[in-house]
Amino acid sequence: MVCKGICQRYKAKKPGMNGRYDAGQKRCSQCEIFINWEGKHCPCCGYVLRTRPKGTQTRQRLMVIQKIKRI
């Protein structure tokens, strides 16, 4: 379960108006990346991908902001 960098090939670009999950993108919490991938598991590390979260939108946004601040 380690990131091998394969996910970078499937890296999803930030969608315009719609959210990432609305655009069909999935998140691998192991690689910490959004990818365009049909499968349920990450093609890179094999971790189960996250699809639509329920009520965690605001929370995730906050986490992103906190990450940016840390950098």
DSSP single-letter state for residue 7:
G
C-beta of 41 vs 67, nearer to Zn ion: 41
* Stretch touching Zn ion by CB under 5 A, among 14-22, 26-34, 50-58, 60-68: 26-34
Selected binder of Zn ion within 10, 25, 26, 28 (CB under 5 A): 28
The residues near 1 (Cβ < 8 Å, ≥ 6 apart) are 30, 45, 46, 47
What gap in Å lies between CA 4 and CA 63, rounded to an integer?
24
Which residues make up the interface to Zn ion (CB under 5 A)? 3, 7, 28, 30-31, 42, 44-45, 47
